[in-house]
Amino acid sequence: MNNYTCNRRSFLQSVVSGSLLFPGVVQELLADDADPLEPRAPQFPARAKRVIFLFMTGGVSHIDTFDPKPALTRDYGKEIKADHPEIKDRPGYERIYIKRPQWDFAPHGQSGIEVSTLFPKIAECVDDITLIRSMYTSHSNHYNATLGMHTGSFAFARPSIGSWVSYGLGTVNRNLPSFVVIAPKQTYAGTQVYASDFLPGAHQGTLVVPGANPVANITPVTPAERQKLELAALHVMNEAHLVTRDADPLLTARLRSFETAFGMQMAIPDAFDLKQESDATLASYGLQRGQTDGFGWQCIAARRMVERGVRFVELIDTGSSNNWDAHGDMMTHVPLAKNVDQPIAALLRDLKQRGMLEDTLVVWTTEFGRTPFNNTADAKGREHHSWAFSSWLAGAGVKPGIVHGNTDEHGMRAVEKPVHVHDFHATILHLMGFDHEKLTYRHAGRDYRLTDVEGHVVKEILT
């Protein structure tokens, strides 16, 4: 009998006899293996301790929301030429025409930033926002652009930005995941938008689905003390099995998932217990007491998660029957905007009131914009547009009430201070205390990073 078997048997006996509780199990099991979720310091002092990432799936039209272009109204119906990826060799698009915006813009706040009537509540918060009007991306297909916005890779599965943050910082609350995704259903690219890929499995996002039971199987079916003993015994057997499998990372991830699951059974019910919130707070998010769905629920749940130490929370707006992919009719933007406008504004105000906006980075983005043209001037919809779109940041470390960059007069291309998705990621990591070129992981013989071999921090927007 080898020492490993003796040690593990002795350990199991001590557990069963009741001399150890579950935290001791974790310490013992991790004695021979570095803990991937151990809290770690950033590479340099961070402005942001946590991120709330708001993803509007489907492609929000920049020229109808955050990027006013009077020239579109002036040149409405004018035929133009464009070697655009969405219309190249596409029947019926041999001729294209300028299409005017369908909503009015107005200045707001002391900054005077113009926002369209689609987002009246967010417009009230512009003095807390850094608006980037010069975003662009590398692909005009939903799958690829969504993958790129989340992983920095437009063609292959790679770790998501939330997984990179988890890998870099670990967690300060072992009873909750370091990376949480709150979404009613999957978006383009599916689970890859929150997968850890080649990073240790502990860094993948944990999916929360709004509803009466946001996390499956979260309610214990056995008393807590008995469950501790059962899980301790199971860990010992799993560790013995792992040794015979050459430390398979998938098995390691599964072993650790039992520990996380146990902690979540203790912490998740409290995190999602909105009975603790005042009527005024719930109303600010557009929620009725007892409501467990809707984007307002996602936003208040995100605030409660980051309050409890979760590093990265992503909210995916997939709550309605449609997303922002307005090929057929731009008027679908109306209910979609109404669905998220009040909750997002409430989230910003709530964080600010609690003093959390100072060290919480709120990110609002989509995968690409929509074309300033169509094959008829009166077409109801707009096509995919990778050449330009808008995103914004608020909170920790960014200049409030400013506009960065610009597109040309028709919103066709990002021409002034363009910001690629890699630059966007580099800036987010910088605010979290990381040099994006040095946050790397060795895999398949090379060092990988979120920004691939590109990306520059957008220093002009930093405080």
The tens digit of pLDDT for each residue in 175-228 reads: 899 999 999 999 999 999 999 999 999 899 999 999 988 887 667 677 777 877
Q: What is the mean pLDDT of residues 256-264?
A: 68
pLDDT tens across 118-160, in order?
A: 999 999 999 999 999 999 999 999 999 999 999 999 999 999 9
Q: What is d(CA 61, CA 84) in angstroms, rounded to the nearest whole number?
A: 16
User: Please, are residues 149 and 55 in contact by the beta-carbon 8 Å criterion?
Assistant: yes
Name the average pLDDT for the chain: 89
- pLDDT value for 26: 41
Q: Classify the C-alpha dihedral 87-91-92-96 as positive or negative.
A: positive
pLDDT tens across 347-399, in order?
A: 999 999 999 999 999 999 999 999 999 999 999 999 999 999 999 999 999 99
Query: Hey, where are the domains in the chain?
Result: 1-32+222-271, 35-214+276-461
- pLDDT value for 322: 76
- pLDDT value for 377: 95
- pLDDT value for 253: 63
Higher pLDDT, 112 or 319: 112
% residues pLDDT > 90 (the chain) = 76
Q: Options 3.40.720.10, 3.40.50.620, 3.40.50.170, 3.30.1330.10; which CATH number does 35-214+276-461 get?
A: 3.40.720.10
User: Dihedrals φ, ψ of 314, to 5°?
Assistant: -110, 135
pLDDT tens across 27-75, in order?
A: 334 434 467 889 999 999 999 999 999 999 999 999 999 999 999 999 9
